[in-house]
Every structure is written in C-alpha cells, then in structure tokens.
Amino acid sequence: MKKRWKQLREKYWPVRIYDQGQKKAFGNLLRFFALMLVLTLVARGTANAAVPQVQTSAPGKGTITQEVTVQGMISAAGSCVVECPQGLTVQTLLCKEGQAVEEGQALVQLDLDEVTLALDRAKAELQKLQTQVSQLEQGEELDDSAVANAQQQLNWAYEDQEKARQTLEALQAAQEPDEQAIEQARQAYESAVRASQTAENARNSALEDYEKQKQQNEKNALTNQADAAVLRVDIEEKQTEIYALKQLAETNGQITAPLAGTLTAWKLTEGTTSGTQACTLADAAQGYELEFTLSETDAEHAQLGAQVQVVQKNQTQTAAVTAVGAPREDGSLTLTARLEGGDWKQGAATGTMTLSRTDYDLCVPAGAVHSDNRGTFVYVLEERETVLGTQNVLLRVPVEVLENGRTQTAISSAILTAFDQVVASSTKPLSEGARVRVDAS
C-alpha cells in the first residue's frame, strides 16, 4: 500500500523534491499556509458572529393612527321604569337583578290587604276632589237685593216728591189762595225733595257696593279656576293611582312586567314600604349600547360619529359614538356608542377608540427612531469595500419626529429618501460607523 501511494504521489505531484531538507522545508511551508487559512476563516467567522444582525425598511408614505383602549359597560339601549303605588309593604321580590323576564311575569308581591285599603281610600279621595272642583266651578252668586230695595225706596221718594209738587202748584193756582195751606204744602214739598236726595244717595251707595262685590267675585272666579285646574291634575293622578291599585287587586297584589326584557335594578326592598318605582327593565329589542369614559387628555378628541372597536368575549364590532356627555370636574367625559345587531350581553366590554388618523409622506418603523444628547436620528445602511469584502456600515441621519404611532413614526429629514435602507431592528446595540449584517429573511 505504501509503495502504491509513493508511486501515485511521484506520478501526479507537480513539484518533485529529491533533497530531504527541501522536502521538509516545503512541508513546513504548506502547514503554515494551511494554518493561516484556518485562522483566517475562524477570524472571519468570529467577526461575523460579533456583527449585529439587522432588519431594514425603506421610508415611505404612511398613516399614523392614535388610539386609546377603554373599559365600558354594555346595556340595553331601551329601558322601562316599572311604576308602583306608594306606601305599600313589599312582601317578596320574585326576580333577581340581571334576570330575563317575560311580559306579564310577576316581579314583586305586595300586601294585598293594604292594596284593598289603599284602593278604597283613593276612591274616597277622588270623590272629594271632584266635589271641590264642582263647587269652585259654580262660583259665588251676586246679591243685588240691596240695590233693588234702594231703587224701590228712591222710586217711592220720587212719587212722594211729585205729589207734593202737584199739591203746592194747585194751592198756588187757586182763585183765593190760602197762604197757610200754601206754606204747609211748600214745606211738605221741600221735605219730599230732601227724602228723594237721601233715597238717591242710598241707591248710589248700594250700586257702589254691588260693583265692588262684582269685581271681587271676578277675582275669586279667577282664583277658583286656578284652584280647579290644580285639582283636576290631582284627579287625573288619583284616577291613575286607582287604575294601578285595581290592576294590583286583580293580580292579588303582584306587580307584573309590562314588557319582555332584563331586570336591571330593583327600587324596592323586602319588608319596607314601596316608593313610586318598582324596578327598571332593559328592553333588548331596541338594541345595545356601550358607555365608557375618556380621560381629560383624550377628551378633546371626543366627537359624535367617532369609531370604537368593541370587544366582548369572541364578539367584535365597530360602533359609532352617538352621545357625548358634559365634562366632569376632572375633565373626563362619558361617551355612548350604539351597537347594531349581535349577541351582546349586559356587562363589561373593552373598546379601542380611534382618536385621530393623519397621513404623512415619510414614515419609518417606530423602532427605527433613536434619541440621545445630540438629537433624534435613524441609522441608514451604507455599503463600503474593505479587505474582507463589501461591508454594510451604519450612518447616523438626523430626523425630526412629527408624530409617534403604535407601529410607525412620522418624520421629516432634509437628506433621507425613499431609496435609503433604515435599520428597523437589531439583535445588538448599534453605533455610528459600526458594521452590520442584513437579515435576508
């Protein structure tokens, strides 16, 4: 075998060395170059391993969207307040808050005996109110008897005065006048004139009193009309109360649901007397809405029609803001967004609201922008020829940040173009002038 190897080596080896010293020296030279090749490959591999690996992106047009995540509550868009007669003992609440109920379903049991007594009392009070209204509408009749009597007395006085005048004139016209009789007749006439004046003054006084009474009655009539109007409102309320009590009596003291929905809040407590409201029902047939709050910082972007991405469990929908509340003391606002369709449930939900959306000519990935005591900048790749071949070297390019987004940043730069390759991310810290490897993936 050794002999065969020697034959092949002598046949194909391009350089034949017969001197043993030369042969040894040549062997050492080959080993040296082999070692240098290995060291060079190791050095290049080590150098490449130490070079940061980067991903790049070309600057270009982009849209910066500002969003805020909010926590809100979903509730039925329509609601109904279930009324209740006041002052009755609440015996049992027959449903729980959050429970779905059907139209006509019993909600609460009130004391039936108290319902009956309240109904009888309400009927009596209604009759009393109706009587009062009737009396007020009749008004007060004017008493003109004093005026009529004074006028009769005046008429009689005028008759007596006329008779006295005629008697006096007859005596004065006689052929043989009786002076004594004429004097007596004159005195009687003057007395009749004075009586007429007295009767006329009495009649005028009676008329004046009658006019005053008439004006007072007119004022009283206006007051009575106002009082009657108030009583008519009381009558309507009492009739409504009687109707509700009759309904309660027919259902044995149970208040029932006027529509199908979800009982959202009780206004009654077992063992206490009832108020004017029993509970509130959410009417799911009218859809759902999300109510959430924006902080003072974001409140300036609140406006009708703003978009909110609503998420509840596995359900997502983009809803529009339909109502913006008044600012609170801390500057925050409550907004309402209407949800269309879907299988929503009353309860907590998450929303993402778009505050603004702006288009820019130059955008880069958010991670591409850096800042230090010299200002804001990005790293751009520059190809350079070195002893190790073509290398990518980092150049620092100053930029101005126009707006920061979640994934992109809008910038302006006097020298950056859409043809440059901006470093978007790196496996290691970067520095100006450093060599990098581009991640081809």
| pLDDT in the model for residue 12 | 45
- Residues 58 and 24 occupy one common structural domain: no
Q: Judge whether 393 lies within some domain.
A: yes
3 state SS of 197:
helix
CB 303 within 8 A of CB 264: no
- Residues 169 and 234 occupy one common structural domain: yes
Domain assignment of residue 37, given as a range: 19-50
| pLDDT in the model for residue 120 | 94
185 burial (CB, 10 Å; 0-12 / 13-18 / 19+) is buried
Of 252, 275, 292, the last residue of a domain is 252
Q: Judge whether 1 lies within some domain.
A: no
Rg (CA), the chain: 55
Q: Cα–Cα distance between 231 and 223 in angstroms, integer?
A: 12
Residue 381's alpha-carbon distances to 371, 378, 391, in angstroms, are 18, 10, 10
- Residues 45 and 174 occupy one common structural domain: no
Give the torsion sign (CA, 176, 179, 183, 186): positive
Q: Cα–Cα distance between 84 and 255 in angstroms, integer?
A: 8
Closest CA to 59 of 429, 419, 434: 419
- Residues 44 and 56 occupy one common structural domain: no
Q: pTM, whole model, 2 decimals?
A: 0.45
The number of beta carbons lying within 10 Å of the beta carbon of residue 198 is 13
The number of beta carbons lying within 10 Å of the beta carbon of residue 356 is 12
- Residues 123 and 241 occupy one common structural domain: yes
- Residues 28 and 58 occupy one common structural domain: no
Q: Judge whether 335 lies within some domain.
A: no
| pLDDT in the model for residue 8 | 44
Q: Cα–Cα distance between 105 and 354 in angstroms, integer?
A: 43
| pLDDT in the model for residue 205 | 92
Q: Cα–Cα distance between 178 and 171 in angstroms, integer?
A: 7
CB 324 within 8 A of CB 374: no
Q: Judge whether 350 lies within some domain.
A: no
- Residues 227 and 247 occupy one common structural domain: yes
Residue 137's alpha-carbon distances to 89, 217, 223, in angstroms, are 38, 12, 11
Q: Judge whether 316 lies within some domain.
A: no
The number of beta carbons lying within 10 Å of the beta carbon of residue 219 is 9
* Per-residue tokens: 124: 């009596």
Q: Judge whether 121 lies within some domain.
A: yes
For residue 301, give every residue at least 6 positions away whose Cβ sits within 8 Å of its Cβ, in sequence order, or none.
Answer: 66, 294, 353, 355, 356
In tens digits, the chain (441 residues) has pLDDT values of: 445 445 545 554 454 555 566 656 656 665 665 555 544 544 454 445 578 998 999 999 999 988 889 999 887 777 889 999 999 999 999 999 888 889 999 999 999 999 999 999 999 999 999 999 988 888 778 888 888 998 999 999 899 999 989 998 888 888 888 889 889 989 999 998 999 999 999 999 989 998 998 888 888 888 888 998 999 999 999 998 899 999 999 999 999 999 888 888 899 999 999 999 999 888 767 778 888 998 888 888 778 888 899 999 888 999 888 888 888 888 888 989 988 877 787 788 999 988 888 999 999 999 999 999 999 999 999 988 876 678 889 999 999 999 998 899 999 998 888 889 999 999 999 999 889 998 876
Q: Judge whether 129 lies within some domain.
A: yes
The separation between the first and the last C-alpha atoms of the chain, rounded to the nearest angstrom, is 51
Total of domains in the chain = 3
- Residues 60 and 157 occupy one common structural domain: no
- Residues 38 and 59 occupy one common structural domain: no
The number of beta carbons lying within 10 Å of the beta carbon of residue 46 is 10
- Residues 116 and 234 occupy one common structural domain: yes
- Residues 227 and 166 occupy one common structural domain: yes
CB 405 within 8 A of CB 366: yes
Q: Judge whether 303 lies within some domain.
A: no
Q: Which helix (H) or strand (E) holds 418?
A: none
- Residues 23 and 60 occupy one common structural domain: no
Closest CA to 61 of 415, 413, 411: 411
Phi, psi of 425 (to 5 degrees): -155, 160
| pLDDT in the model for residue 417 | 87
CATH number reported for the structural domain that contains residue 390 in this entry: 2.40.420.20
CATH number reported for the structural domain that contains residue 235 in this entry: 1.20.1270.60
